[in-house]
Amino acid sequence: MSRFLKSSFQGIEPYTPGEQPKNSKLIKLNTNESPYPPSPMVIEAIHTEELENLKLYSDPEAKVLVEAAAEYYNVDEDQIMAGNGSDELLAFSFMAYGEKIYFPNVSYGFYKVYGRIFGEKVTMIPLDKGLKIKVKDYYNLDGTVIIANPNAPTGIALTKDEIEQIISCNKNNLVIIDEAYVDFGAESVVCLLGQYDNLLVIQTLSKSRSLAGARIGVAIGNKEVIRDLKNIKYSFNPYNLNRLSMVAGAAAFKDKDYFEKCCDKIKDTRDRLVKDLEFAGFEVLPSKANFIFAKPPGISGEEYFQQLRKNNILVRHFNEPLIKDYVRITIGTDEEMNAIREQLSVL
């Protein structure tokens, strides 16, 4: 740290992204990327004159992408804003609404970081013993609420009715639902936007649409909230998405068949793996995501992580008191999951 850093950033604990290893022999199951390539329509969309157009600034409204997203979600275009990854939209949301903010004590690691930089009063609400969100703890709060559904890194989802209860019991607070993993079996609350003006939904194309490297997220909400977020963006970086990502994202929304096929494959692979791990004595939390959170039998989370690592399988272990017994395993292809199975005999 230099002596020039402004005081509010001193001692900041940044988010730690999962490792992006150079070693291509590694089976990479640590950052919840899709094992499948983007839709062929995405690849086609990028190979056009758009490459030559890179000499021009991108559209600050990201119109092609917003149009395709509005059609997919069946909302008006002024209810959608595109972000450079959903992380950027989460950051804008914390800037706009994070003065007083509530979220679960085990959740996406970025919330704590954004809360620290952009917020004033951050309250983390404990999960229950089974690492589930206690819905009633979120009724009648006095600040913004943010919940990842399914939650990370547990993979456990609340139902649409449970989320609706939280929204309707917080009429004077904005409730932000981060649906990064919703396409793998949970229920989206986008359909509630017509009924509640205090709901903001954030989704990403990084996981279920195989576009982690393109950095595309969308915020879906009522048009005043979207206007707030756009005002922040225009005060920060008007050209937040690049041209290639816009056309890629638009094509990904249009290719619904491919998207659904990939999600179905991942869900099937997940459910088969869960059965086998449970049979081997693992405790696996009920996942509606493209990862599972599992506690190995007779070995610590850290030891299991190391053992997989020695065998060229990279998963994620969080060295935090409440979850240190678990590892998070991204659902890859069936062949990749067989590599996990092969390690079961040595437990």
Ligand X SMILES: *Cc1c(COP(=O)(O)O)cnc(C)c1O
Which residue is closest to ligand X by CB?
A: 85
Residues 226-285 contacting ligand X, CB under 6 A: none
Question: x/- string (CB under 6 A) for ligand X, residues 111-150?
Answer: -------------------------------------x--
Chain Cα centroid distance, residue 203: 7
Q: Where are the beta strands (DSSP E) in 144-289?
A: 144-148, 175-178, 199-204, 216-221, 283-284
To ligand X, the closest distance from the beta carbon of 342 in angstroms equals 27
Read off the tokens for 185.
């079996």
Please report, as residue ranges, which positions from 50 to 109 form the binding site for ligand X (by CB under 6 A). 85-87, 108
Question: Which x/- pattern, by CB under 6 A, does the window 15-44 give for ligand X?
Answer: -----------------x------------
Of 51 and 65, nearer to ligand X (C-beta) is: 65
Cα separation, 47 vs 41, in Å, equals: 10
d(CA 208, CA 252): 10
Q: Which amino acid is at 8?
A: S
Could you say whether residue 212 binds ligand X (CB under 6 A)? yes
Kindly state the smallest distance separating residue 183's Cβ from ligand X, in Å: 12
Nearest distance in Å: CB 104, ligand X: 11
Closer residue to ligand X (CB): 41 or 212: 212
Q: Shortest approach of ligand X to residue 266 CB, angstroms?
A: 15
**Which residue of 178, 187, 228, 255 would you call a contact of ligand X, by CB under 6 A?**
178
Q: Which of 58, 198, 204, 330 binds ligand X (CB under 6 A)?
A: 204
Helices (H) and strands (E) in the chain, counts: 10, 12
Q: What's the min distance (Å) between Cβ of 281 and ligand X?
A: 28
- Tell me how far, at minimum, the Cβ of 107 lies from ligand X, in Å: 7
For ligand X, which is the closer residue by CB, 138 or 345?
138
Phi, psi for 220 (deg, rounded to 5) = -125, 125
106-109: list long-range contacts, CB under 8 Å, 24+ apart.
106/131, 106/151, 106/153, 106/154, 106/320, 106/322, 106/323, 107/147, 107/148, 107/151, 107/152, 108/148, 108/152, 108/178, 108/180, 109/15, 109/16
Of 143, 155, 217, 296, the residue at the interface with ligand X (CB under 6 A) is 217
Which parts of 281-340 interact with ligand X (CB under 6 A)? Answer: none
* Cα–Cα distance for residue pair 241/85, rounded to 1 Å: 9
Q: Per the structure block, which two tokens stand in for 210? A: 């195989």
Please tell me the distance from the alpha carbon of residue 316 to that of residue 51, in angstroms, as a whole number.
36
Out of 95, 101, 152, 156, the residue judged to bind ligand X by CB under 6 A: 152
Asked if 187 touches ligand X (CB under 6 A), the answer is: no
CA gap 243, 215 in Å, rounded? 12
Task: State both tokens at 183.
Answer: 């396409």
Nearest approach, Cβ of residue 268 and ligand X (Å) = 21
Minimum distance of ligand X from residue 110's CB (angstroms): 7
Q: Which of residues 206 and 245 has its CB atom nearest to ligand X in the complex? A: 206
Q: How far is the CB of 318 from ligand X (least distance, A)?
A: 13
The first and second tokens of residue 143, run together, are 């600040």
DSSP 8-state symbol, 136: G
222 belongs to the binding site for ligand X (CB under 6 A): no
Q: Where does this chain bind ligand X (CB under 6 A)? A: 32, 85-87, 108, 148, 152, 178, 180, 204, 206, 212, 217
